[in-house]
A = this chain, B = another copy of it.
Amino acid sequence: MKIVILGGVAAGAKAAAKAKRLLPDAEINLYTDDTHVSYSACGLPYFIEGNFEDFRMLLVRLPEEFEKDGIHIHLKHRAAKILPASKQVLIEIMGENRAFLTDYDKLIIAIGACPIIPKIKNVELKNVFTVRKVEDGIAIKEKAENSEKAVIIGGGYIGIEMLEALVKQNVHTTLIEYAPTIMQNFDDDMSELILKQLREISSDRFEILTSEMATEFSGDNNGVKLVRTGSGKEIEADFVVICAGVKPNIEIAKDAGIILGETGAIKVNEKMETNIKDIYACGDCVEENLLITNTKIWMPLGTNANKEGRTAAVNACGGNDRFAGVLGSAVTRCFSLSMSMTGLTEKKACSLGIETISATVTKNDKVGYMPDVNNITLKLIAEKNTGKLLGCQAIGSGDADKRVNAVTSALLAGLTAEEFLQNDLTYAPPFSPTIDPLLNAAQILAEKIYSSKEL
């Protein structure tokens, strides 16, 4: 049995390891255009921030460890073409002007995503970075340690994680976001609150510009020096980090006749099979099933990649595993503020034609007399007709992140707000108010739903 895996960050590395455990005699070759394999891309901002000095902490498993287990890792080997008819892949050895064909019985595509580079004049200048690979992290960290000013383009998850990282490296940072607010994955009321709370934290160490677009970089052979914006601002910068989102790597798959989904990423079923026999796909290059609505969504996250890599490997090895889909859960932090969500936002629900009711509460995260008490704001959303919970968003300096996970299970099970209200969440003064803010929100939501029926 010959298993070929393309890509090796999260999904590819997981698939390789799992396949070898299931079929110790299989010949497993993993090809990647990267210089590292099996690393925590999500950890790059925390490395840059200085939480740990050695970038090798990001490496989950080294190539030599894979080799010892009999998994062959081929770094700097780019997959140039998939030939499903002959069950082969054309591999180019990067920097060597050499290519070869390799056979597969099962092919697992895990080629990930790549940063979107906005149309900005002189975007190719030196010291303009993206945050995707280990080298990116090393380069940005080194630059940050020797710089005073930086600009971040984009205020999504990576943008605000980089904001914290650079500020903690004592780099005065300006984040430029073209939309009226940052963290657009959240509903507008919540993302405005995030913006407000981050600006309160700021204290001259950083600035967030919204409704503002970087239109031009200027500099010289030594690199970028200045960022110009659409409104005419000129911001000095020793370096720029572009965090304008990512797009799935799909060219090679599309070229081979693999069907893409409506999101633009590779379409797979819950066994991670593509439309072509013996070709599986997983990780950031595939789209996911959104469990709540059974619609498609693209959620390129390490946790999804990991689960999908596992499922692809089990099925490629003749087993039977399924990855049903996602709930749209995500979390991050920026300084003391944590932001987490699961399920549908109201704007996402609206775009799917679902009528919603929501309740938002701002409450203490624990009993008020505890010394480390902090505020959290929770928004709970339900479908108007059925009362079924659709999603939750939580932000705050308090213990906001894990509260959302009580809602993920509820979404998975299809609970209504009224059913959720009977939840027996743990209580003790250091951990929660007597009535958890989630239940405050559920109470208000259930009453709103009830009233809407009476009208």
Contact = CB atoms under 8 A, between A and B. Distances in A.
B425 A405 contact: yes
A405 B408 contact: no
Given A331-B431, A405-B402, A340 B426 contact: yes
A338 B402 CA distance: 15
A333 interface: yes
Contacts of A424: 291, 303-304, 325-329, 342, 408, 412
A269 B395 CA distance: 37
A191 to B, nearest CB: 17
A226 interface: no
A230 interface: no
Contacts of A413: 409-410, 412-415, 419
A409 B412 CA distance: 10
Contacts of A423: 327, 408-409, 412
Interface in A401-455: 401-410, 412-415, 419-420, 422-432, 434-436
Nearest to A372: B51
A58 B434 CA distance: 13
B419 A412 contact: yes
A405 B342 CA distance: 15
Contacts of A324: 422
Contacts of A51: 369-371
Contacts of A403: 402, 405
A152 B402 CA distance: 33
A341 B306 CA distance: 28
Given A402-B403, A409-B420, A413-B409, A426 B10 contact: no
A46 interface: yes
Nearest to A51: B371
A52 interface: yes
A330 to B, nearest CB: 6
A31 interface: no
A307 interface: yes
Contacts of A435: 303, 306-307
24 contacts: A40-B369, A43-B367, A43-B429, A46-B370, A46-B430, A52-B369, A291-B422, A303-B425, A303-B435, A323-B422, A325-B424, A329-B425, A331-B428, A331-B432, A332-B428, A340-B426, A341-B426, A342-B426, A402-B402, A405-B405, A408-B423, A408-B424, A409-B420, A409-B423
- Lowest 10 A-B CB distances belong to which pairs? A413-B413, A402-B402, A409-B409, A331-B426, A303-B427, A327-B424, A405-B406, A57-B369, A324-B422, A409-B410
Given A43-B429, A52-B369, A330-B426, 14 more contacts: A42-B427, A58-B369, A301-B427, A303-B436, A306-B435, A331-B426, A331-B427, A332-B428, A342-B424, A402-B405, A406-B406, A406-B409, A412-B415, A412-B424
